[in-house]
Structure 1
Amino acid sequence: MAMEQTAAKKAAIGRKEMLLITAVALGTLLNPLNTTMISVALARLQEEFRLTFADVSWLISTYYLASAIGQPLMGKWSDLFGRKKVFMLGLLLVTLSSSLAPLSPGFGWLIGFRIIQALGSSALFPSGMGMIRSQITSNQAKALGIISIFSSTSAAFGPSLGGLLLHYGDWPLIFLCNFPFIAASFILAWKLFPNDPKTAGRASDMDWPGVALFSATIFMWLLFFLSLADGFSLWKLIVSAGASFWLYRYELSRSKPFINVAFLRKNMNVTLIYAQFILTNIAFYSIMFGIPSYLQRVQAMDPQKTGLVMLSIAGFSVVVTPLVSRWIDRSGSKPPLTAGTALVVIGSLLMLIIRDQASPVTIFLVLCVLGIANGFNNLGMQTALYDCVTKEETGIASGLFMTSRFIGTILSSSLLAALFGKNITTSHLHSMAWVCAVLGVLMLVLTLRMPGRERVKSG
């Protein structure tokens, strides 16, 4: 009888933990989902607001900029003021922005509402991860991995979902479709998240100079890369590099820095993983945003067909994930990552066979290779990171991991603005393919220098 009660108690705890993970997962998917859903609507928004691709790319860049700043900022806030409060605040901001964005009277308003959406959704990952770390004591790494995989998969499915919504409605549906996820996450979090303990956190505890310097540095790099479409700007490069060095020196001297550069300097393997993750996201998001606009502008596909073709990336990412998971369990992260980065090179070079009026089947098959590569790289990068940090370092490592993701996405939008800014042609697509192939080679080199599968023990 006692054994049955113990088993029932464990089962109840397991169900509660799974529902808590679901609450966090439904919230954290909002940011990656909204980063990629908009990709299929870019051509429609160009028509609606009479913009060039370079103009409309600000809708992507500012979202990533706000996310890159908001992710560590909201992470600090959740530590200071409470994880449940910050998580709920994030959901409310996403609700507000998703309600108002469809009513935007102009493109500037739409950018403003997207920034609010980015800040709100950025609150969900760090506060949600912190909640899981505090509430789930067994199989914690597995729970954190589920959230990370959930986020990556939702990013891959974004264009396909966006294509369907655009086919049956118009671009406002891309914002309105957030509400089921928001409602489910809000109800579960409200019921399952424990109330925040009383904290002595104050706004003055934030490293506000560090926040301002980090924001200015990211913004200057964004301006530099976006300006490449009109030519090389030496002064912007000098200012960006100078701001980066200043940020590094300043944060190194702080006892409670906004960006923990001391952690990065101490953990060189982790730093190189972040560098590789930046390269991975430049390649992935260049394809995720570049291909839909190319298919609609050059191949004359409607949004629904575009979404179905882009399903190749999402579908194969999901299909290979369980296989990659078992491979990692047997051999560690390095072999799957080696295969994944090699497939980035192969898939990028295969894009060179795409010509004007290419068969949708040909394009689909090429993107399948890149989808398989995405599945290998997403899970491989996450497990490689957790192999190199202790459990006590999981929080800071996860936050910086997401920041590096947004830096990569910012650079991808800058690359696309430089290549597709004035016009989109097959020649421009091939230029993007060559850039992604070079990035893939760099990723492969970084993978080959990774240590073996020796896990770091908690200290």
Structure 2
Amino acid sequence: MNARNKGLLISVGLGVLLNPLNSSMISVAIPRLQNVFHLDFRMVSWIIFSFYIASAIAQPVMGKASDLFGRKKIFLTGLVVAFVASVLAPLSPSFGWLIVFRIIHAIGTSMMVAVGIAIVRIHITEKQAAALSVMSIFLSGAAAIGPFIGGVLIHWWDWPAIFFVNIPFAVMSFLFAWRTIPKDEPSTSALRNLSFRKWLDLIDASGILLFTLGLIALLVGLLSAKSSGHVSSGPVLVGLIGLLLLAAFVRHELKAPSPFIPLHTFAKHPAMTWVNIEFILVNLLYYSLFFGLPSYLQMVRHVSEFHTGILMLSLGLCSLVVSPISGRWIDQAGPRPALLVSGMLMAFGSVWIVTLNQSSPVISVCVALVAFGISNGLNNVGMQAALFNSSPQQIIGVASGLFMTSRYLGTILSSLLIGIIMGDQFSAGGFRLLGVILSIIALCLVFMSWRRREPGKLEES
């Protein structure tokens, strides 16, 4: 790989890592934010919801925008947006403003993720597989070490540091990208002549609005019902409005010429649908531990942010080590054995959570972290292999987009599950209840993996 391609790879990598890095660093910051802004656990969980909802919407929209404005412009604009949000977020006068800047930051970082891989695919033709594997390291590595970096930064410089740390990455990436990413033109001249109304139709603005409002209303209704301690008309009404909006969203998407989420694809390809359902459950399990365990360590066990970050590092390192090994295994045996082992490890880790109590050594938490870390390494490759096996080649681009949407839905559901169980205060009893629920979900995942149908091998019901 020549020097120009290496420079391009570094510039794109430094940009795309900001999204997974910031989505994972926040897991260690939740207890500190709760204390600083005097919030209950239910309210502070919106710092997670907001980022993933914004990312889920921004990435496909910005992918389409790159056809209109050019990938280099979208990438550089994303770096500027992320830089501004990183400067302003620590200055937030209230938690509401922090959420606003967090959403802006998610949009900026999503702009880079949406076009980063495409830039590498288009402009690096020499040793492209190696280049894409490096990009995967930037993405998965940033997510893996995020809690450790967040723990160190918060321990020494408090929570604003997890935003300020983005600034050097954004500046370096911008300087490299300005020089190394070739200028590109929109893919078709017709796109450049689109009116604003046509552009809104192209990105399915109506579908995005229905999806966003429906999801937020449903989340507010469910979390408010838990907070009130009893069933009252207000939260129920908000939740019902959310369900109605989501129903309207489904109806709209089935008729839209350019849907935000092409739901009709699920009906045509049931095998792919089951893979996405399984992927939602995988992410629900993984991120419930990922976001729940740091809060348990800090709020229940009174472990410092620094030591919490060190403990969480075992999760990421196991995932990084296992991913390449699982790739070779899956190439030989297919995804089913790896996903079956992954489900069993998640079930074991979830049951282990239930056994933890105040007298359990803190280091014993690593047992659950290692189990989930290994399973995540297996899932990183196994679920993608299952997706490619179940998706026709002609719709693999659409299938990949739906796959990412499933990841975000699983992540959002994990935060919702934690918020509903914990309510106002994170407790040891609530954490054990979370372990029980995760154990049940993991067993369902094991059953789904056991019953998995490999291509060309139909199982008898």
TM-score (norm 1): 0.89
Deviations 1:75-106 (A, max 9, x none): 22123322222121111111110011111122
TM-score (norm 2): 0.88
Report if aligned partners of 2:147, 2:312 keep a CA contact under 8 Å in 1.
yes
Q: Are 2:144 and 1:156 aligned?
A: yes
Report if aligned partners of 1:20, 1:189 keep a CA contact under 8 Å in 2.
yes
What's the counterpart of residue 257 of structure 2?
255
Distance across 2 between alignment mates of 1:330 and 1:150? 26
Equivalent of residue 218 in structure 1, options 215, 218, 242: 215
Q: Are 2:289 and 1:301 aligned?
A: no
Report if aligned partners of 2:342, 2:379 keep a CA contact under 8 Å in 1.
yes
What's the counterpart of residue 353 of structure 1?
355
Cα distance, 1:196–1:287 mapped onto 2, change above 3 Å: same
What's the counterpart of residue 273 of structure 1?
275
* Equivalence map 1:299-338=2 (5 Å): 299-338=301-340
What's the counterpart of residue 32 of structure 1?
20
Equivalent of residue 402 in structure 1, options 397, 401, 404: 404
**Paired letter, 2:213:** A
- Tell me which moved more, 434-443 or 48-57: 434-443
What's the counterpart of residue 283 of structure 1?
285
> SS of 1:400's equivalent?
helix
- Tell me which moved more, 23-32 or 371-380: 23-32
Report if aligned partners of 1:148, 1:382 keep a CA contact under 8 Å in 2.
no
What's the counterpart of residue 166 of structure 1?
154
What's the counterpart of residue 443 of structure 2?
441
Report if aligned partners of 1:251, 1:260 keep a CA contact under 8 Å in 2.
yes
> SS of 1:123's equivalent?
helix
**Paired letter, 1:319:** V
Distance across 1 between alignment mates of 2:355 and 2:410? 26
What's the counterpart of residue 209 of structure 1?
206
- Tell me which moved more, 124-133 or 229-238: 229-238
For CA contacts below 8 A with separation 6 or more, give which structure has more relative contact order. 1
Q: Are 2:373 and 1:385 aligned?
A: no
What is the RMSD computed on CA atoms of the aligned residues? 2.5
Distance across 1 between alignment mates of 2:61 and 2:151? 32
- Tell me which moved more, 371-380 or 391-400: 391-400
Report if aligned partners of 2:220, 2:239 keep a CA contact under 8 Å in 1.
no
* 1:430 shift after superposition: 0.7
Distance across 1 between alignment mates of 2:222 and 2:5? 43
Identity %: 40
- Tell me which moved more, 111-120 or 235-244: 235-244
Distance across 2 between alignment mates of 1:148 and 1:269? 26
**Paired letter, 2:271:** N
* Equivalence map 1:129-148=2 (5 Å): 129-136=117-124, 147-148=135-136
Deviations 1:1-58 (A, max 9, x none): xxxxxxxxxx43xx65555444333322211211120111111112211111112111
- Tell me which moved more, 120-129 or 286-295: 120-129
Distance across 1 between alignment mates of 2:58 and 2:379? 25
* 1:433 shift after superposition: 0.7
Cα distance, 1:388–1:417 mapped onto 2, change above 3 Å: same
Distance across 1 between alignment mates of 2:219 and 2:61? 19
* 1:360 shift after superposition: 1.8
What's the counterpart of residue 113 of structure 1?
101
Which residues of structure 2 form unaligned runs of 5+?
457-461
**Paired letter, 2:160:** P
* 1:176 shift after superposition: 1.0
Cα distance, 1:24–1:225 mapped onto 2, change above 3 Å: farther
Distance across 1 between alignment mates of 2:254 and 2:52? 25
* 1:367 shift after superposition: 1.6
* 1:445 shift after superposition: 3.0
Which residues of structure 1 form unaligned runs of 5+?
1-10, 455-459
